């Protein structure tokens, strides 16, 4: 039997159903919210250093009632239909929560990118665009980076799209290199947006930023960036982890040194510390750190009903997508732990992707200060709007989903396409 515990899409559907019931939505609109518009599945036939390979690939176009489909493409062994559909549904809600005129989509190729050369990854990227070409476009479906995809991969995809269409189309894809029309501030936007949300939460709960201890699971771009941003605000980063190990120092880690190490392609397990107080542990131990703020910044479903009782933090900032299961959240709330949800917290990436798309279309580019100021205003307003929805008995996730689902339902009803 498939349960929400092993089917991430069912987890998201549970949140959607709960919001639909709270909003008294009719059966037709609720059904529209629970079903993706299009499930695109193609087999990429790619010549790699291993020979001719066939790779399973997806583009799930979930809902475009509020605007063209928008969402990243991930290269990952677990990027199957359920995971990608869950992420596409989440993106639909996320864009509505921060009130940008996009719908939700997500893409994936099932592979381990660490097993492929750079040329292989280029061939795979181009094959993805060719396979899904009829369904992509500036006003149709706009991809972006996600797990294990990069600005360089976006550049290859843009080049392939423009070759196929015979026209310049920088707004076709976001998260591009600056030289190809990428936006200043996009590389740090996901982490920066989460910091703005955390700032608003800390003001609300009257907590002193300088005394807080932080643990971060996932030390890729988003995790490393949020570590630097929070350390700069005076917070103590006491524990960070990648897929191989956790490094902990109760007096605070040197996050700059750790980031430089990771940028060489090495794991945290290979980090040779000059500080004898740095302690290595297994990768899951970061979740159980004695901290004030726990930031899951890796993959989904890392905090479940089975391990939630070990969590001791005061607040969880969901920088990853769907990292806390529904069963876990119930237990965490009972323990007095607030969970700030992904559909609000990590929306900074898609907000600045929207800004990039706008700049590409207008051919009018903003400086980084303008991007950050607009991102801060957007994230703070979204937090306030979620808070306005939150009743005393509601979680932050329930409030955020209610806000997003209400906006989606309004657009669906106005269009009458249900």
Residues 213 and 334 reside in one and the same domain: yes
Residue 278 lies inside a defined structural domain of this protein: yes
Residues 102 and 225 reside in one and the same domain: no
Question: Which of 135, 169, 203 is the last residue in one of the domains?
Answer: 169
**Could you give the angle at the alpha carbon of 351 between the alpha carbons of 350 and 357, nearest 5°?**
85
Residues 62 and 122 reside in one and the same domain: yes
DSSP 322-342: S-B-HHHHHHHHHTT-EEE-H
- Other CB atoms within a 10 A radius of the CB of residue 266 amount to 13
**Could you give the angle at the alpha carbon of 189 between the alpha carbons of 33 and 41, nearest 5°?**
40
Residues 196 and 138 reside in one and the same domain: no
3-state secondary structure of 278: coil
Residue 367 lies inside a defined structural domain of this protein: no
- pLDDT computed for residue 278 by the predictor: 85
Residues 320 and 232 reside in one and the same domain: yes
Catalytic one among 106, 262, 372, 378?
Answer: 106
Residues 103 and 137 reside in one and the same domain: yes
Token reading at 295: 């930031």
Do 182 and 263 form a contact (C-beta atoms < 8 A)?
A: no
Token reading at 17: 């159903």
Residues 199 and 336 reside in one and the same domain: yes
Alpha-carbon gap, residue 228 to 222, rounded angstroms: 10
- pLDDT computed for residue 2 by the predictor: 42
From the number of C-beta atoms within 10 Å of its C-beta (0-12, 13-18, 19+), residue 376 rates as: middle
Token reading at 346: 């990590």
Tally of structural domains, the chain = 2
Within 8 A by CB and 6+ apart from 403, the residues are: 96, 97, 385, 386, 389
Residues 112 and 244 reside in one and the same domain: no
Residues 216 and 162 reside in one and the same domain: no
Residue 351 lies inside a defined structural domain of this protein: no
Rounded to the nearest angstrom, the gap between the alpha carbon of residue 305 and the centroid of all alpha carbons in its chain is 22
Alpha-carbon gap, residue 88 to 328, rounded angstroms: 22
CATH at 155: 3.40.50.10860
Residues 135 and 201 reside in one and the same domain: no
Ranges under pLDDT 70 in the chain: 1-6, 417-418
Residues 159 and 222 reside in one and the same domain: no
Residues 144 and 70 reside in one and the same domain: yes
Residue 394 lies inside a defined structural domain of this protein: no
Do 313 and 241 form a contact (C-beta atoms < 8 A)?
A: no
Residue 356 lies inside a defined structural domain of this protein: no
Task: Identify the domain containing residue 277 by its residue range.
Answer: 189-340
Question: Which of 305, 340, 375 is the last residue in one of the domains?
Answer: 340
Residue 405 lies inside a defined structural domain of this protein: no
Predicted TM-score (pTM) of this structure:
0.94
pLDDT in tens, 262-280: 888 888 988 888 777 788 9
Token reading at 41: 């599945």
Question: Which of 139, 169, 199 is the last residue in one of the domains?
Answer: 169
Residue 415 lies inside a defined structural domain of this protein: no
Pairing, β 293-296 against β 315-317: parallel
Residue 136 lies inside a defined structural domain of this protein: yes
CA neighbours within 13 Å on the CB side: how many for 83?
23
CA neighbours within 13 Å on the CB side: how many for 293?
29
pLDDT in tens, 151-194: 999 999 999 999 999 999 999 999 999 999 999 999 999 999 99
First vs last C-alpha separation in the chain: 30
Alpha-carbon gap, residue 309 to 306, rounded angstroms: 7
3-state secondary structure of 153: helix
Do 12 and 34 form a contact (C-beta atoms < 8 A)?
A: no
Q: Is 106 a catalytic residue?
A: yes
Using only C-alpha atoms, what is the Rg of the chain? 21
DSSP 59-98: EEEEE-TTSSEEEEEEE-TT--HHHHHHHHHHHHHHHHHT
Within 8 A by CB and 6+ apart from 232, the residues are: none
């Amino acid at each position: 039997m498939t349960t929400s515990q092993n089917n991430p899409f069912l987890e998201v559907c549970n949140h959607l159903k709960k919001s639909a019931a709270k909003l008294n939505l009719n059966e037709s609109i609720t059904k529209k919210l629970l079903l993706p518009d299009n499930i695109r599945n193609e087999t990429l036939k790619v010549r790699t250093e291993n020979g001719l390979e066939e790779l399973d690939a997806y583009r799930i176009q979930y809902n475009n009632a509020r605007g063209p489909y928008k969402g990243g493409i991930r290269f990952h062994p677990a990027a199957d239909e359920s995971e990608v559909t869950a992420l596409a549904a989440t993106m639909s809600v996320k864009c509505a929560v921060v009130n940008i005129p996009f719908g939700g989509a997500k893409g994936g190729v099932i592979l381990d990118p660490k097993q492929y050369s750079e040329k292989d990854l280029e061939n795979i990227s181009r094959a993805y665009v060719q396979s899904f070409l009829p369904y992509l476009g500036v006003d149709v479906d706009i991809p972006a980076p996600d797990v294990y995809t990069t600005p360089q991969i976006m550049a290859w995809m843009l080049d392939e799209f423009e070759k196929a269409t015979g026209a310049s189309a920088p707004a076709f894809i976001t998260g591009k290199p600056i030289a190809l029309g990428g936006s200043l501030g996009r590389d740090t936007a996901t982490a920066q947006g989460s910091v703005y949300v955390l700032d608003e939460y800390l003001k609300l709960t009257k907590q002193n930023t300088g005394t807080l201890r932080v643990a971060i699971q996932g030390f890729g771009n988003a995790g490393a960036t949020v570590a630097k941003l929070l350390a700069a605000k005076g917070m103590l980063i006491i524990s960070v982890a990648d897929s191989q190990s956790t490094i902990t120092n109760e007096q605070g880690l040197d996050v700059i040194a750790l980031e430089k190490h990771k940028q060489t392609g090495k794991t945290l397990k290979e980090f040779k510390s000059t500080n004898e107080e740095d302690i290595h542990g297994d990768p899951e131990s970061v979740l159980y750190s004695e901290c004030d703020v726990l930031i899951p910044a890796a993959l989904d479903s890392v905090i479940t009903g089975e391990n939630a009782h070990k969590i001791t933090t005061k607040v969880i900032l969901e920088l990853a997508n769907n990292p806390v299961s529904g069963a876990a959240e119930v237990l965490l709330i009972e323990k007095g732990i607030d969970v700030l949800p992904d559909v609000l917290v990590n929306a900074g990436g898609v907000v600045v992707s929207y800004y990039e798309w706008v700049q590409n279309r207008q051919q009018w580019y903003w400086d980084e200060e303008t991007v950050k100021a607009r991102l801060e205003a957007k994230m703070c307003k979204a937090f306030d709007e979620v808070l306005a929805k939150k009743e005393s008995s509601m979680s932050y996730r329930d409030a955020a989903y209610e806000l997003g689902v209400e906006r989606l339902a309004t657009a669906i009803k106005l269009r009458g396409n249900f």
